[in-house]
Amino acid sequence: MHDEPWNQDACALVDAYRRGEIGPEEALELSIEAIEKSELNAVCFVDEETARNSARNADVSLPFGGVPIGVKELDSVKGWPQTQGSLVLRDEVSDYDDTVITRLRAAGAVLAAQTTASEFGGINCTSTRLHGATRNPYDLERTPGGSSGGSAAAVSGGLLPIATGGDGGGSIRIPAGFTGLFGLKATFGRIPKGPHTEVEPLTAVLGCMARSVRDAARWFDVCNGADEYDPFSLPRVEGWEAGLGTQELKGKKVVVSVDLGAAVVAASVREKVEEAANDLIADVGLNRVDVDVELPRGGLEWAMAGTASLLAGLGDLYPGCESEFTPEIMLACNIATHHFDVNAAIGIENYRRSCIVAMAKIFDEVDFIVSATNPDVAFGAEGPLPTCVDGIDLVSKLGFEAALGNNGALTIPANTTGNPAVAIPVGRVDGLPVSMQVIGRHHAEALLLDLALSVERRRPWPLVTPAALGE
């Protein structure tokens, strides 16, 4: 079971196609069958007829030729539901493809299924009134995180080899960390968000939920590059996959700050991350330095900026639709409605500037910042967001707002500043995955991929959960 192409990464599946060991139609049927049998609730729509036609005509010479992929519910595929994970938009259907989808089609991908997301991508737990709770394949009582929770559960749980993701505050890295996957949050603008680009709040990036470093690199080969519909998109960079393993890492400076001075982290997670960091430093020959790391807390400011954009998108539907929101979205909308004013806007920009300055000062002295990806292992599938870590009542310690923000306190800073960051699996606690985050300088994704590749080679992680292999 471990050696079957379906249980490997997407690159291995394409190689198997080319060798004639399995065909795209067979792989697609395996995916559809797995989705039908699954208890994960990771998929909310399957486009069987179109996918079967694509698989039948797949050109396996292309980068993702014949690979069945999942598309996150927040991404747009023409003719597919465009619900944003919300009851409010339950009848909406997309009339266009996102730029990323157009590029994936051109690379031969078979668009097979839509994966669940948290409502409007608002929280890091994928449980909505529209679809119910999505389950973590390592423990069905736990969440796979969010907002890319369905994509993470589907890829880790053996339903799909790879899937789209997006990261506006940790929505690739958090679910990657909770489900044992590799996640790359790129420099802001690396992958375009056209053709209908949402500019504000200047934090969200697109990417994928991947089983391996090379899968993510190939994804970026296909999807990166400027798009006239996205004024913040960066020029195309070639050779992500071909360049793996070629970066000079020895002697580069790294600071290890498991909590980034911004989060309360469980002792068991801290131990795993510090152990993995020490191994990485020794294996690669990094130069560990002592630098003060204390990134500003700003969960409320981050949420306020995103909610303001959400309300603008809802237009005349709000406030009449608020009764159909999940409690978290309802609360966020109420806060934004009653408290978003000039002073709040100034507060958001002050927080953004303070984050940028704090991050830049650290990178004046180091090349990488290592931390945990999540403060603790995955919490309950239906929420709520945890406000207790290792028996510590975070509300009493930090206050209500900071307590709710603890679960994203490690990931939000890189979104606020636009820096690239990776989530790398480094083991398990009580059977649940633990992840190490590495943040890099702007545009330094190639270095981060090679650091992750080193960990992957020295400490290989399961590509799918044991349950997906029938163990």
CATH number of the domain enclosing 100 = 3.90.1300.10
Per-residue pLDDT of the chain (471 residues; tens, 9 = 90+): 567 888 999 999 999 999 999 999 999 999 999 999 999 999 999 999 999 999 999 999 999 999 999 999 999 999 999 999 999 999 999 999 999 999 999 999 999 999 999 999 989 999 999 999 999 999 999 999 999 999 999 999 999 999 999 999 999 999 999 999 999 999 999 999 999 988 778 899 999 999 999 999 999 999 999 999 999 999 999 999 999 999 999 999 999 999 999 999 999 999 999 999 999 999 999 999 999 999 888 777 777 777 877 888 888 999 989 889 998 898 888 888 877 788 888 888 899 999 999 999 999 999 999 999 999 999 999 999 999 999 999 999 888 878 888 999 999 999 999 999 999 999 999 999 999 999 999 999 999 999 999 999 999 999 999 888 887
Does 179 fall in a domain?
yes
> Do 19 and 51 lie in a common domain?
yes
Place of tokens 């590799």: 182
382 within domain boundaries: yes
Torsion of CA 161, 166, 167, 171, to 10 degrees: -60
Same domain as 308, residue 181: no
Helix boundaries (H) for 295-443: 299-314, 327-339, 342-363, 394-398, 400-405, 412-417
Burial letters for 133-156: b for 16+ Cβ neighbours within 10 Å, e otherwise?
bbbbbbbeebbbbbbbbbbbbbbb
Q: Does any domain span residue 424?
A: no
Q: Are residues 204 and 286 in the same domain?
A: no
Expressed as residue numbers, the domain containing 153 is 5-248+449-469
At 1 the pLDDT is: 56
> Does the residue 242 lie in any domain?
yes
Pair 219, 267 in one domain: no
What is the predicted pLDDT for the residue at 193?
95
Note whether 231 and 273 are same-domain residues. Answer: no
Adjacent-strand bridge partners of 133: 127
Same domain flag for 208 and 267: no
Are residues 24 and 165 both part of a single domain? yes
Place of tokens 């003719």: 79
- Residue 226 shares a structural domain with residue 272: no
| 264 shares a domain with 222 | no
Q: Which residue has the tokens 């603790």?
A: 376
Backbone angles phi, psi at 458, to 5 degrees: -85, -35
Kindly state whether residues 9 and 64 are assigned to the same domain: yes
Q: What distance in Å separates the CA atoms of residue 124 and residue 149, rounded to the nearest whole number?
A: 8
Residues 279 and 180 in one domain: no
Tally the domains of the chain.
2
Residues 274 and 355 in one domain: yes
Residue 375 belongs to some domain of the structure:
yes
327: which 2 tokens?
A: 């409690």
